[in-house]
Structure 1
Amino acid sequence: MTNSPTHEAITRAHHEEWARVVASLASRFGDLDVAEDAAADAFVAAVEAWPRTGTPPNPGGWLTTTATRKALDRIRREGKRDAKHRAAEMIRDDTPHTPTGPLTDDRLRLLFTCCHPALATEARVALTLRLVGGLTVPEIARAFLVQETTMAQRITRAKAKIKKARIPYRVPGPDDIGARLAGVLAVVYLVFNEGYLSGTGDEPVRRDLTLEAIRLGRLLRALLPDDGEVAGLLALMLLTEARSAARFSATGELVTLVEQDRGGWDRDLIAEGHRLVRERLASGIRPGRYQILAAINAVHTDAGSARDTDWSQIAALYEQLYAVSPSPVVALNRAVARAELDGADVGLAEVDRLVGTLDRYHAFHATRADLLRRLGRSVQAREAYDRAIELTQNPGERAYLTRRRDQLA
C-alpha cells in the first residue's frame, strides 16, 4: 500500500500551477483571500482525488476549474452575487495558461499588486512570496529570520490592507512603477534563493522556484530594459544558476564553491550573465545592490579555479555593497573575503562582531565553524557546526556540515 501524497507534496510538484491559479483567480475576483483560499481548497481536493483517479492529463486545468468552483461556493455562501460572481461563471476553462508578454502575465501582475507602496516593504515581500512564489509560511519566516506566528500575522494584515484600500490588480503605469520595483525585485530574489537552497523537504534544490524567478526576471527585463537593478538581478540569478549542476555530489551532499568541478558549470548562462554585468559597467551609472552582487558572482565565475579567484576584487566589491546595503549578512560575506585575503583570524574577528545579530542564521554559524577549524580551535568549531546543523533543514547542507564536523580532531 502506497502513501497518499500530501497537500505540500502536490503543491511542490505543481508549483507553477499553484502560482498561476492564485494569480488567475485574483485577476478575476479581485480578492486575494478568495484566490488563495480557493487555490488551497483545490490542492486539498487533489490530495483526496488524485491517489484514486491518477494525476489528470492537464493538472493545471483541473486545479483551475476546481479552484473556480470552490471560489464560487464561497461567494455564494457569503451572498456576494454581483459582477464577480457572473464573471467567475464564465471562466471554466481547462486550457493551459500561455503567457503573452510582460504586461499580461498573471503572476507579474499579481507581483506588482502585492508590492503596492501602501504596504510596508517587509509585508509586500512576505505576501508576494506566499501568493506568487507559493512558499509556505515557515519558508518565508526562515527567509526573514522571524518566528512563523509573526510571519503569518504579517501576511494576514497585508491581505486585509489590500482589500480595505481596494488596491487594483494591475501592473502600475510608468508614473508609479518605480515605487513598487524594489519590492518586486526583492521578492524575485528571495524566491530564487529559496529554490537554490531549499529550506524544507527532501530535495536540496527546488528548480521550479529558481526557473520561475529567472522567468520573472526576464519578463521584468523586457518591461524595463534600461533599469540597472533589473539587469543586475537577472545577471545575478543567471550566474548563480550556472553553477547548479556542480553544487551537489552524487550522494546529495552540498559541494562548496571551492570544491566544485567548474567544468560542470553552464557556460551559456555565464556568458549571458557576464554580458549583462559588462553592459551595466559600461553605462557609467553608480551600481545598486543587485548589480554589485552580480559583479561579485562574475568574478567567481571568471576564475578558472578556486586558486585563481581575485579575492581583493571581491573584498572591494563587498565594501562597496556594504556602503549601499549595510546589512549583517553583507558584513558576514565581507568577513569571508577578508579571511581569504588577510587570514582566518582577521575574518573571525569580523564574524564575531555579528554575534547576537545573526544567531538564527545557519550560515553565520557555518562560517564561524569553518574559520575556527582553520585556526585549529576544534572544540569551538564543533559547537558552531552543531548550531549550524540545528538551524538548517536542507539535506545536502546538513550532510556537508555533519561531515566537516565529524572530521575535526
Structure 2
Amino acid sequence: MLAQPDARAAAALLALTAAFAAVVALLPWPAGRITLGAAVGAVAGASLLVDLGYPGPYRLPAFWLPFEWLALLGLLFRAVRGLSDRRVGPVGGLLGLAAVLLPLRFSLRTPQGGAAWSVVGVLLSLLPLLGVAGAALYLRVLDARRERAVARARREQRLEVARGLHDFVAHEITGIVLEAQAGQLPDQEPGETAALLRRLEEAGLRALDSMDEMVGALREPGGEGGRDGRSDPPDREERADGATTRRLGLADLPELVTRFGATGAGGTAGVPRATAELAPETAGRLSAEAEATAYAVVLEALTNIRRHAPQATEVTVRVAPGTDGTVELTVTDDGGPSRRPLLRRRPGAGGTGLAGLTARAAAHGGSLTAGPGTPAGWRVSCSLPGR
C-alpha cells in the first residue's frame, strides 16, 4: 500500500496487478501443487486489495483497468466451469466482486476522480459479467451431462460384458466342468473318452469365441453403421474389428437344446432327454433384442439345470404364442431322482443370472418367473411382448 501518491509507483502497482491477473488467466491449472481455485482466489484478493488501497492519480487506472478486467472475466469463466461444486460458489463470488468493483479504483480513495463515472462503470460491468458467468454455467451443465453419459455408457458396457460372461462363457465352462467330472466316473466305454474330449474341445472353442466377441466390443468403434455407411440388419451387429456377428434368437434354440442334450448334465443319470417345441407362428413376432433376451433366458435355465439338477432326465423348452401378441417361453425339468447340486458352490457365486434376466425382460415390457414345477422339478417362465 502506498503512503504517497507517487505516479511511478502507482503505475507499477497497477501494471503488476494487471499482469498477474493476465498470467494466471493464461496459464494451465493446476500447476504443481497450486490449484485453479488457489490461483484465482489470489488474483481476486490482490485486485480487491488494490481497489481498497490505491492512492495514486485517479486517471492512471484508466490505462490498465481494461486488461485486468478482461483477465478477471476470463478467470471467472474458467472458475465457474472448472471448479468443484464446493469451491465454485465462494471463488466465483470473489472473482465477480473483484470484477464489479474494479471501476471504483478511480474514486474509492480519491473522490475527485469522479464517483459518478465509477458507479456507471460498475453498472455497465454487470452485463458482461453475467453473460460470462451464464455461458460458463451453461457449459458446466453440459460437461456434467457429458460426464454422466460417459459414466453411464461405461457402466452399461461393464454390465454387457458381465452379461456375456455369465450368459455364454459361464454356460460353456459349467459344461466343461461337468463333462470333466463325468469323465472321472468308472466303467467308461472305450469310445466315450474320445467323444468326451471332443465335446470339451467344442465347448472350449465356443467359450473362446464368446470372449473374442466381448473383447471386440470393448475396442474403439470404427464408425457408425457398416463399413459402407449402411446400418446392420436388425438381427446382426458389427463388431469393432469390422466383423459382423449374428444375434442369437428363437431360431437358435433347437441347436442349443440339442447340444445340451448331447453333452448331458454330467450326472450319473446319464444324458437327459431334452426337447425344444417352437410354435411356427412365433417366428418374427419379437424384436431382435427381445429374441436375444429369450435366448439368454433359455441358456440361463439350462445352465442352472446343469448346476442344480444334474440328475434330471427330462428337459423341455417350449415357445408358444400368448395373448395380445406376446410370446410365452417356458423351460421345465423333472428334477430327476435328486436335485443335489453336482458342482460345489463357490462363496459369493451365483444368484445374479435370473435377477439380471428379470430386469432385461422388464426392460422389454415382459416378465420372468421361476419356481418349483408340477409335480416336481423346476420351471422358468418368460413372457415377452411382440413388436
TM-score (norm 2): 0.24
Structure 1 or 2, whichever has the larger Rg, is 2
By percentage of residues, which structure has more helix? 1
By percentage of residues, which structure has more strand? 2
